[in-house]
Amino acid sequence: MSEGHEYTTVVRWTGNRGSGTETYRSYGREHVVEVAGKPVLHGSADPAFLGDPGLMNPEELLVAALAECHMLWYLGICASSGVVVTDYRDPAAGTMVEETAGGGRFTEVVLRPVVTVRDESMRESASKAHEQAHRRCFIANSVNFPVRHEPEIHAES
């Protein structure tokens, strides 16, 4: 039996500089993302699209969502299978292309998790857990571009 989940956010534009969207360059791309009971996330467009380079943009958040989803599944799978992960970081990267007629799309995201496990004997299982995490990741299963994995597994001992 499948179970449904709903996620609600409010995205509110904060970039009105006094004249609204009178011209393409007259307004700011700043906005906030609000989720009830959680800290407000301040965002903007990518600087290539006149955004604030000091704020997160939707493209970065998409890459982060894929990396987070994979990591959370991965850690759960490892915990359930006796693999003790002691460190995890993922310098993930996504590639987006702009179309000449406007718009664009992601062509791929590459996750590069660098994982440390407690013991050398856990390396093989730790490596296989990435395949399982990829198959289970809700976000990866929802996008229409490849999400590749290039993991590194290290052992403490």
CATH of the domain at 118: 3.30.300.20
DSSP, collapsed to helix, strand or coil, labels residue 117 as: strand
Do 23 and 95 belong together in one domain? no
Asked, for residue 138, whether it belongs to a domain, the answer is: yes
What is the distance between the alpha carbons of residues 71 and 65, in angstroms, rounded to a whole number? 10
pLDDT at 139 over 80: yes
Q: Is 73 left (phi over 0), alpha (psi -120 to 50) or beta?
A: alpha
Give pLDDT, residue 2: 80
pTM of the model: 0.91
pLDDT digits (tens, 9 = 90+) for 38-79: 999 999 999 999 999 999 999 999 999 999 999 999 999 999
Mean predicted confidence (pLDDT) in 14-24: 92
Do 34 and 106 belong together in one domain? no
* Residues 6+ positions from 37 with CB-CB distance below 8 Å: none
Do 45 and 62 belong together in one domain? no
User: For the chain, how many structural domains are there in total?
Assistant: 2
Q: Which domain holds residue 148?
A: 58-155
